[in-house]
């Protein structure tokens, strides 16, 4: 990891926040944006989920379970294709403009950080991006290799042995031992995923991913072979 990369990565993480683009809508904003369709989707989904939980807890019956499930699925489909289109147009336009303003501030801030570190051309941004990808790919390959080996040795081989044991009617003790090995295999993989998740934060890979995301965003905001600050004003 080069000294330049380390400084830029840490500075980007400390000074470039995207919280303005991820803020939750307030109750007042929901009231302005939502129309009857949206209130129906919200209320019916809550009631359907509640009803499904009650039915499952009291084991009312399979056919009763289908009713809330169908409502939830229908609401998901409607939301996917009609949610944004049905929002109040004036309020939605105002919201989008606010998000665009926050996005411009975010890009301008990221641009200033890069410029302060001398990253002022596409070539330098590409060098930074390639180094970022190098560390992220190295991490992913390391865990992928371990996961592949664990699946092969602790799950694949025992499953084959289990099938063989069942075909040739081996003793229950042998079958139990094989099943135990398979369970251990799944446990090892689960632990590996947990370690991968932990190291994502402890080893600073969160910073690498944020830098990569910002570099990609900047490429949408500049023209090739031009300095960043000549484009974003």
* The pLDDT of residue 223: 59
Q: What is the mean pLDDT of residues 5-18?
A: 91
* Contact call for residues 88 and 35 (beta carbons, < 8 A): yes
Q: Report the C-alpha dihedral over residues 85, 86, 92, 96, rounded to 10 degrees.
A: -20
Percent above pLDDT 90 for the chain: 47
Q: Which two tokens stand for residue 121?
A: 């051309």
- Mean pLDDT over each residue of the chain, to the nearest integer: 86
In a domain, 82, yes or no: no
Query: Does the pLDDT at position 168 exceed 70?
Result: yes
**For residue 219, what are the CA distances in angstroms to 8, 51, 122, 195?**
17, 48, 9, 33
**Cα 132–Cα 206–Cα 227 angle in degrees, nearest 5:** 45
In a domain, 73, yes or no: no
In a domain, 46, yes or no: no
In a domain, 19, yes or no: yes
In a domain, 59, yes or no: no
The three-state DSSP-derived secondary structure of 57-73 is HHCCCHHHHHHHHHHHH
Q: What is the mean pLDDT of residues 162-184?
A: 79
pTM to 2 decimal places: 0.70
* Contact call for residues 99 and 29 (beta carbons, < 8 A): no
Q: Which two tokens stand for residue 10?
A: 């840490």
* The pLDDT of residue 33: 93
In a domain, 96, yes or no: yes
* Contact call for residues 121 and 227 (beta carbons, < 8 A): yes
Q: Which two tokens stand for residue 228?
A: 């960043």
Distance CA 203, CA 139 (A): 10
Distance CA 217, CA 114 (A): 13
Q: Structural domain of residue 147, as residue ranges?
A: 3-34+87-230
Tell me how many domains the chain contains: 1
In a domain, 48, yes or no: no
Distance CA 186, CA 98 (A): 47
Assign 22 a pLDDT band (cuts: 50, 70, 90): confident
Query: Does the pLDDT at position 207 exceed 70?
Result: yes
Give pLDDT tens digits for 76-115: 999 999 999 999 999 999 999 999 999 999 999 999 999 9
Query: Does the pLDDT at position 228 exceed 80?
Result: no
């Amino acid at each position: 990891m080069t000294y330049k990369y380390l400084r830029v990565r840490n500075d980007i993480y400390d000074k470039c926040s995207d919280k303005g683009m991820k803020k939750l809508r307030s109750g007042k904003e929901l009231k302005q944006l939502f129309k009857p369709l949206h209130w129906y989707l919200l209320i019916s989904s809550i009631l359907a989920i509640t009803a499904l939980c009650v039915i499952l807890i009291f084991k009312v019956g399979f056919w009763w379970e289908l009713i809330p499930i169908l409502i939830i699925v229908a609401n998901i489909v409607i939301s996917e294709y009609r949610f944004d289109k049905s929002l109040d147009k004036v309020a939605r336009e105002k919201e989008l403009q606010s998000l665009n303003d926050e996005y411009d501030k975010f890009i301008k801030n990221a641009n200033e950080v890069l410029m302060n570190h001398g990253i002022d051309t596409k070539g330098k941004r590409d060098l930074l991006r390639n180094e970022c990808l190098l560390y992220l790919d190295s991490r992913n390959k390391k865990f992928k290799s371990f996961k592949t080996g664990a699946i092969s040795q602790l799950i694949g081989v025992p499953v084959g042995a289990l099938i063989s044991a069942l075909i040739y009617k081996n003793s229950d003790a042998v079958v139990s031992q094989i099943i135990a090995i398979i369970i251990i295999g799944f446990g090892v993989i689960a632990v590996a995923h947990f370690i991968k998740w932990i190291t994502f934060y402890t080893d600073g890979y969160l910073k690498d991913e944020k830098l990569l995301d910002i570099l990609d965003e900047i490429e949408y905001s500049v023209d090739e072979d031009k300095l960043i600050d000549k484009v974003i004003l």
